[in-house]
Structure 1
Amino acid sequence: MRLFNSRNYRLWAAADLVSVTGTWMKVLGVNWFVLQATGSTTSMGLALMLQTLPILLFGPLGGALADRLPVRRVLLVTQAAHAVLSAGFAAVVLFGGHLSWLYLLAFLTGLVSAADGPALGRFGGMVSGPALLSQALANGSLISSTGRIIGMSLGGVVAATAGPAVLFLANAVSFAAVIAALLAMRTSSLHQLAAAAPAERGAVRAGFRYLATQPTVLVVLGVAFVLGSIGRNYQVTMAAMSFGPLSGGPAGYGVLSTVFAAGTVLGAIVVGRFRELRLQLLVGAGVVASVLQMVAGAAPGLWSFAAVLVPIAAAAVIVDTTVSTRVQLDTREDMRGRVLAAAAVVSALGGMVGAPVLGALCEAIGPRETLVVAGAIGVLACSAGAVLLLRRSAEVPVLAE
């Protein structure tokens, strides 16, 4: 694979795997600690919301900073900040700090992520270059899925034997791998993007004005929002099915989560085989995931439901990777940070909106019916997106790449 001929990419991929593994260990650690301290899933959800909220509030500003500042330096600062905050989580556990300290740290983590996310995306493009960006994002999906499986599996053992503080410390150390990779890279081999945006007032507004002139990107983000909220909040529907009609309980939910993670690995492998990730692939994978979601609603037992989850998870990864690729390749390089920030806001908003809506639907009409309704909405959204994109096919060359 051409990407791995690059020393910079090998360093970046290795650091990414270590960092993602540490991040999922930390996610498990937060959930474990909050549930032990409160016994409340609502409190656990609050911690998650506090990490997401800053991305909604300050993500566009983070994108503007990523377009303006040298991203390698930004990442050195943000990765160090993440390491300090993760060590702070460990201190709260070890020294018996009040839960409010953990909530504060969760919010600060989200604040750093608001600047960190767009910078990571922009720097990833510098490591791979535009010709290999699709391949790099596909590899990134595989790394994320693998890191999630390793982090959750290893984290469960560590949490049970040594406690959540060790998970937070391991996450803090994982950021050192990214910092070391950044320092070890050959800057002369990085692919330089378009000149960074000059310092100016209204850089965030300029980003929104630019997006308003990119109807294709807006359609892609709109489809991604629907699929990511109503169509694809699987953690909610998997839990509702396992604890409801499938009678799987906690053990069944664990099986479904593991199967879903395995499906994301399969999806990352499949998407890596495409030379180009076109808009048609986004629509097609979205329709497949949505139709299969409707089929899952009729699954008679736990294992039949799990079997349908595998291609659903694979299609979800194809959708996410194609969205990430298109919003970068189909927009100006000097606006890339702000576009990536907008995509992150859409993703975060989809999670925050979709989870409670799906939860309410599961309670009101039942988990099976919710899956059917959500799948139907996904099909409609993809169909509407396809119609809008076809109307622009004469104006948007990317559809015929």
Structure 2
Amino acid sequence: MARGATFAALRQRNYRIWALAGFISVIGTWMQVLGVNWYVLKETGSATSMGFAVLLQAAPTLLLSVWGGVLADRLPARPLLIAAQGAHAVLAAGLAAVALTGVGGLPLIFAISLATGAVSAIEGPVMGRWAASLVDRETLGNALALGSLTNSAGRILGMSLGAVVVAAVGPALLFGINAASFAAVVVALFAVRPGAVPGLPDPNAGRARDGVRAGFAYLRGQPVLLLALALSFVLGSLGRNYQVTMAAMSDGPLDAGASGYGLLSTVFAVGTVVGALVAARRRSLGYRTLVVAGLFASGLQIVAGLAPSTWSFAAVILPIAAAAVVIDTTVGTRAQLDTDSAMRGRVLAALAVTGSVSAAVGAPLLGWLAEHAGPRQTLVLAGAAAAIATTAAGVALDRQRGRAATLALVVPRPRHPVRRAAFRAARIVRPTGAVCVIAPAEAGAVRSGGVRPRELATAGSVTNR
């Protein structure tokens, strides 16, 4: 790896602008998260009510992300993102008004939280597709890893500064800061030049085929991607909900109390920064990286269940957090690189839904196990189950690679009888391991007789690095 490769994406003007704006926005976002939690807890004295506010922001992802994916594939990204930033700013200003005046109270706070989650759910796939156009194909994995680094650093800084501000003047200022932070994203949207770097297509160039149903149909035909999503779900539900297991261990076997839980949360955040740097250092992020990181995290989770003290538990938590970021970055990279351009928004939406469902399923499951079987036993059982699932996924991925499966662009089956016969014949005579990848536009060229040999070359196959 060449010197400076860890920050390779920052050499590109577009990404530098976008990363700075994203960092500012992330700081504001986590300030608002802390402000909402503090406001709800102060008004109700109930941690359950605080959790309900968090749930309201996450729930829309399950219902609206797929529609956000369709919009990402059909419409120009820039105006959609500008509208989303404006909506976020208005909603944050609404929170500030409630905190200052008390008008509306908790019901309005909950309503704004739900609306914020809805905007984020629709915005997510659009943002992912837009960001991918700001770097070349070779730098995408590095850009995603640096994005994880930005999010982790922004979270730490936002929560730290937010804690000082909320203690001094209350949450209203936090909401106001977040509202202002979206201006940085709008400025960046006008400053960057999407599509200026060769590699991934301009997000405005993709046009959807049909809608949500087409996205599901496309996913059904992508076995490697489905395996990666399934593994991401298992690792996310059984091995990622450490906010639950860390709290259970602190309150139980470790007898560390609230201070211990705060320490572990800080260590976990530092681990995410380390993981982002590790992912950024890698030249490529393939499916072998995903399997190795999954086995590494699962094995350490078993060790964490056996840790005798808070500090030994913290020492294991840090590399687990790092592995979690590597897993997320790898899955995100493959979802961007190994999918049809016209379907990329809907694939990113499926990835977002997978993350939300894994959190929604895993948190209560691990909490129930910790209560009935014990925190240590929960970590050991969940780690063992995740390790078995990762091993099975690794075997399945290797078999798919052996069959020359691909996550790249697949030629649709022709409808005309003569063309269908030719299609079948081509599949029969194709040498084992050969993968011919044709984009939709290029498939049209084939149908019209305008075949260009360079465009029909193999454009991508499953990588297992």
TM bracket (short chain)? over 0.9
Which of residues 271, 286, 289 in structure 2 aligns to 1:281?
A: 289
Which residue pairs with 1:78 in the alignment? 84
Q: Does 1:398 align with 2:405?
A: no
Which residue pairs with 2:49 in the alignment? 43
Which residue pairs with 1:16 in the alignment? 22
Which of residues 28, 50, 60 in structure 2 aligns to 1:54?
A: 60
Which of residues 137, 159, 182 in structure 2 aligns to 1:130?
A: 137
**How far has the Cα of 1:225 moved from its partner?**
0.5
Which of residues 311, 315, 339 in structure 1 aligns to 2:323?
A: 315
Q: How far, CA to CA, are the matches of 1:187 and 1:291 in structure 2?
A: 41
**Per-residue Cα deviation, 1:351-380 (whole angstroms, up to 9, x for no partner):** 111111111111001111111111111101
TM-score, with structure 1 as normaliser: 0.97
Which residue pairs with 1:241 in the alignment? 249
**How far has the Cα of 1:190 moved from its partner?**
5.3
Which of residues 190, 194, 197 in structure 1 aligns to 2:207?
A: 197
Q: How far, CA to CA, are the matches of 1:376 and 1:186 in structure 2?
A: 47
Q: Secondary structure at the match of 1:299?
A: coil
Which residue pairs with 1:34 in the alignment? 40
Q: How has the CA–CA distance of structure 1 residues 400 and 295 changed in structure 2, closer, same or farther, with 3 Å as cutoff?
A: closer
Which of residues 351, 365, 372 in structure 2 aligns to 1:357?
A: 365
**How far has the Cα of 1:299 moved from its partner?**
0.8
TM-score, with structure 2 as normaliser: 0.84
Identity of aligned residues (%): 56
**Per-residue Cα deviation, 1:65-117 (whole angstroms, up to 9, x for no partner):** 01101011111110111111111111111111320101111111111111110
Which residue pairs with 2:98 in the alignment? 92
Letter of the structure 1 residue corresponding to residue 174 of structure 2: L
- Structure with greater Cα Rg: 2
**How far has the Cα of 1:52 moved from its partner?**
1.2
**Per-residue Cα deviation, 1:249-284 (whole angstroms, up to 9, x for no partner):** 111111000000001111111111111001010011
Q: How has the CA–CA distance of structure 1 residues 276 and 239 changed in structure 2, closer, same or farther, with 3 Å as cutoff?
A: same
Q: How far, CA to CA, are the matches of 2:233 and 2:223 in structure 1?
A: 15
User: Which structure carries more relative contact order (alpha carbon 8 Å, separation 6+)?
Assistant: 1
**How far has the Cα of 1:3 moved from its partner?**
2.2
Q: Which runs of 4+ in 1 moved over 3 A?
A: 190-195
**How far has the Cα of 1:2 moved from its partner?**
3.9
Which residue pairs with 1:269 in the alignment? 277
Q: How far, CA to CA, are the matches of 2:395 and 2:202 in structure 1?
A: 33
Q: How far, CA to CA, are the matches of 1:354 and 1:164 in structure 2?
A: 30
Q: Which runs of 5+ in 1 are unaligned?
A: none
Q: Secondary structure at the match of 2:283?
A: coil
Counterpart contact for 2:133–2:194, Cα < 8 Å: no
Aligned residue pair count:
399
Q: How has the CA–CA distance of structure 1 residues 400 and 280 changed in structure 2, closer, same or farther, with 3 Å as cutoff?
A: closer
**How far has the Cα of 1:400 moved from its partner?**
4.3
Letter of the structure 1 residue corresponding to residue 463 of structure 2: L
**Per-residue Cα deviation, 1:210-256 (whole angstroms, up to 9, x for no partner):** 01100000000000001111221000001111111111111111100
Counterpart contact for 1:193–1:333, Cα < 8 Å: no
- Residue range with higher mean Cα deviation, 166-175 or 258-267: 166-175
Which of residues 75, 82, 94 in structure 2 aligns to 1:69?
A: 75
